[in-house]
Amino acid sequence: MAALAPFQPILDPDALIGVRLEGKYELTAHLATGGMGAVFQARHVHLRKDVAVKMLRPELSSAPDLVERFRREAEIASALEHDNIVRVTDFGRSEDGLLYLVMELLTGESLFDRVRREVRIPPGRAVTLLWQVCAGLEAAHQHGVVHRDLKPENVFLARTASGREVVKLLDFGIAKFARAAGEAGTQSGIVVGTPEYLSPEQAMGLPVDARADLYTVGLIAFRMLVGHHPFRTDDQRGLLLQQASTPVPPLAEANPELAAWPALCAAVAKACAKDPGERPASAADLGDLLAAAVGPAFVAPPGATPVGPAALTAAPRPHTPRGGAGAPLKPTPAPFAAAALARLRGLALDGVARLHALRRRTGRRWLLAAATLAAALALAGGGALASRALDGRAAARAEALLADGKAAAALAAAEAGLADRPADPVLLLLRARALAAVPARAGDMLEAYAAAQDAGALAPEDYGAVAALLAKERPLADRAARLLRAASPAAVPAVAALTRGGTAGQRLRAMTVLRDLGAEDAVDRVAVYAGLLGDPDCDVRRAASRRLGELGDKAALPALRTAAAASRTEKKNFFSAPAKVPLCGAAEAGEAVRRIQSVN
C-alpha cells in the first residue's frame, strides 16, 4: 500500500493513486479536478465496493469557511435520501490532514456537458430531465434545505447498470437549512452562488427560501430549450443587475420553434418570475406544470421516486396554473392510462392496415368493417381515438407503400397526413422509416427519427437505421450518436451489432456510444478494441490503445504488446542505413501495457 507524503501545499492527483484514506478507501483512479479539490474513484477495502471520493485541496484545509462548506456538503447531502440526489456515505480527515467525503460512484455526464454538445434539447426530453431536478429539489426542500447553487454543472445525468438515465443533484456545499426560530441566517447583503444562475433575491443579497431554486430551474430550462443563457454579458456586476431586475425573455421569442409549446413557455416564464410570490409554490408544483405542458410527450422515468404526500404515482399531479396565460393545463395521464392509450393506438393502426387490404379485396365490405372497428373502439372508451383511426388512412397507405418498396410515395403519404396531424406518433414514425429508404436524405431522416423518438414512437429495430450513420462523415455521425444516446437501453442492441462489422471508425464510434449508454459490457469490449489495434488508421489505433489501458484487463496485453512492438523500416536520407521506426500508435499501446501491469 502506498503511503501519503507529508502535508502537500499542492494537490497532485496522480501521486495519490494507491493511497488509503484512514485504512478504508483506496484511491484507484483520478476522475476530475476542480477549484476546491479533486474527485477520485476508490474502493472500500472491506466491502469491496467502488465509490467516489471528493477531496479538498490541502492548501484550503486551513481556511475555516471552506472547511465548513465542505463539512456542510457532507452533512446536508447525507441527510437527503432520494434517487435524484447524489448519495453521500462518509466524511473524514486522513492521517495527513486531507479532508474528504465519500459519495456513490456515478457514470455519465453533467447537464452542462450535454447541453454544450447538443446545444438544444427537445421539449419532451428536456422536461423529463427537469422533472427529475424538481423531484430532487422537492425532497431537499421538504427537509428544509435550499440548494442555492444549482446550475447545469451540478446536475449530473447518471447511467445505471441497466442503461437508464437518472438525474442526480450535486454539490450542496453552499446549501442552507431553513432557519429555525432564533437562528441566524446568511448575512444580509452577501451574494452567495453562481451569478449566471442566481435568483433575483440572491443577486440583491436578500434572504432566500426554496423559491430561489425554482427561479434557477427556470433559467436552466431556458438554457436547455433555447441553446444559450437568457442574459449575455461578460460583466459580473451587469449580470447581477440583470438577474435582479431584467425580465427573462419569453422562450418563444428566443426560439420561435417553441411557439408550438405555449404551456411550456408559460411554465418556464412562471418559474422565472422576478417576484418569488409569482413563482410556483413548490418544486413539485413546478414539476407538475412542466410535465403537463408537454402532455403525452412526458414519460415519468422508470423507478422515479415520487415526492410529496399527494404523489401516489410517478405521474405528475393535475395542476391548473394560477394567474397564468392561456387555458388550464391538461393533467398528464397516469402511466397505466398512457400505456392503455398507446395500446389502443397500435390496435387502431393495425386495424386500419387490415381494412385497407380488405378494401382492395372486397370493395363494399370496407364500410361495414370500418363501422365495426369504430363501434369496438368506442365501446373501449376510445371514441375520439376511433375517429382518429378512421382518419388514419394516410398512415395505412404509407405503411402499405413502404411494404411494397415505394419509399418516395410512402413519404408523400405520411407527410400529407402530418399536414393535418403534425404530432401524430404513427405518422412521424412512418415518415422516418420512409426517409430511411430514400437515398441522400440521411440528415432529414435523423430529424424525422428524433421527432418520432420525442413522440415515444420508436421501436428498438428502428435504431438500426440510425446506428448505420455512425459510418458517415463526422457531423452526421455525431448527430446520430446524440440520438442513440438519448434512446438509452432501446438503442443498445442496434449499436452493439455495429461492433461486429462495418468500418473501423464505425466500430470505434459504436463503442463510444455504448460507453456513454453505460452498456459497453454488452459486447466483448477487449476483443473489439484489440481488433482495432491493427487498423491502418493511426487515430483508431491510438484510441483503441488508450481505452484498453483504461479498462485495465490483462486479456488485452498480448494484442497491446504486439501493437507496441510494431515498426516499419525507413531511411532518413540517401546516405543513412535503414532503421526501424515505431509505427504510429505504438507509443500509446506501450503506455497501455505499462498501465495495465501497474494495476495488476
Active-site residue set: 149
Residue type, 204: M
User: Rounded to whole angstroms, how far apart are CA atoms 133 and 116?
Assistant: 18
Distance CA 593, CA 551 (A): 11
Of 375, 373, 378, 382, whose CA–CA distance to 344 is shortest?
382
- Give dist(CA 61, CA 478) in Å, integer: 43
Residue 354, CA atoms < 13 Å, CB-side half-sphere: 10
Pairing type for strands 20-21 and 25-33 reads antiparallel
Neighbours of 32 (CB within 10 A): 12
Question: For residues 584 and 538, is the Cβ–Cβ distance under 8 A?
Answer: yes
- CB atoms under 10 Å from CB of 596, counted, come to 20
Q: Give the cell for residue 320.
A: 391548473
Burial of 278 (0-12, 13-18, 19+ CB in 10 A): middle
**Residue 427 CB: number of other CB atoms within 10 A?**
27
**Phi, psi of 284, deg, nearest 5:** -65, -40
Contacts 24+ apart (CB under 8 A), 38-42: 38/11, 38/13, 40/13, 40/16, 41/105, 42/102
